[in-house]
Amino acid sequence: AQSVTQPDIHITVSEGASLELRCNYSYGATPYLFWYVQSPGQGLQLLLKYFSGDTLVQGIKGFEAEFKRSQSSFNLRKPSVHWSDAAEYFCAVGPGTYKYIFGTGTRLKVLA
Amino acid sequence: DVKVTQSSRYLVKRTGEKVFLECVQDMDHENMFWYRQDPGLGLRLIYFSYDVKMKEKGDIPEGYSVSREKKERFSLILESASTNQTSMYLCASTEQGSSGANVLTFGAGSRLTVL
């Protein structure tokens, strides 16, 4: 079955520390992969996407993600977290024009 | 930038009421979606539409219906609201394109409470 797993429900980091949010997927073909961020009370905003090519993709707000086919992973990273990064992060797989599968989200808390 | 506008940010309704959630996008996108977001469950697709008057059921369509009379507008209808429909509802749209390569653009969400 197609699925996306975000194993960490909550993550707390100190401001200025590095961040890695994990995402694993199960899909039978080459996936299209996305990371979205949701600030409190808001909709989801695209951080970055991977369709093909270079497996390290850069996104907005200093985020990057690396596609590792052998590990079925698409982890999100940021070298230095800012307090404004506190939000909920969703990984998603887009296997088709209409069907997008979302993970359950990781809520990031940033300590001053 | 594409804008997806959900007219009602917060609604409080009573059990049994008919509820309309409206969504409008301004970039001539063919595809529109309604998701439900609940803590620990992520986003679940209720319905989507790929053209005017066309709709397809998503993963959790029970208790919901939709209407798409104009390309820019996609409405979610709760015929008889129940307390288990208390949730955040997110509308999104994408343009027609190569399979899987479309990016969802989301509205700000409508938080519905059913008492």
Could you read off the pLDDT of B52-91 as tens digits, one per residue? 999 999 999 999 999 999 999 999 999 999 999 999 999 9
The yes-or-no verdict on residue B98 having pLDDT over 60 is: no
- DSSP assignment of A55-95 equals SEEE-GGG-EEEEEGGGTEEEEEESS--GGG-EEEEEEE--
Rounded to an integer, what distance in angstroms lies between the CA atom of residue A55 and that of residue A72?
Answer: 12
A&B contacts, CB < 8 Å: 65
The reply to whether residue A31 touches residue B104, judged by beta carbons under 8 angstroms, is no
* Partners of residue A92 in chain B, C-beta under 8 Å: 104
* Partners of residue A42 in chain B, C-beta under 8 Å: 108-109
Question: How are beta strands B10-13 and B19-25 bridged, if at all?
Answer: unpaired
Give the three-state DSSP class for B84. Answer: helix
Which residues of A have a CB under 8 Å from any CB of B?
9, 31-32, 34, 36, 41-46, 49, 51, 90, 92, 94-100, 102-105
Could you read off the pLDDT of A22-68 as tens digits, one per residue? 999 998 777 889 999 999 888 899 999 998 888 999 999 999 999 99
Residue type at A20 in one-letter notation: E
In angstroms, what CA-CA distances link B34 with B4, B78, B83? 12, 12, 19
At B97 the pLDDT is 62
For the segment B96-115, the average pLDDT, to the nearest whole number, is 83
The yes-or-no verdict on residue B99 having pLDDT over 60 is: no
Cβ A48 vs Cβ A57: under 8 Å? yes
- DSSP assignment of A8-38 equals -SEEEEETTS-EEE--EEE-SSPPPEEEEEE
Cβ A58 vs Cβ A70: under 8 Å? no
Ranking A49-53, A56-60, B10-14, B22-26 by mean pLDDT, the lowest is A49-53
Cβ A103 vs Cβ A90: under 8 Å? yes
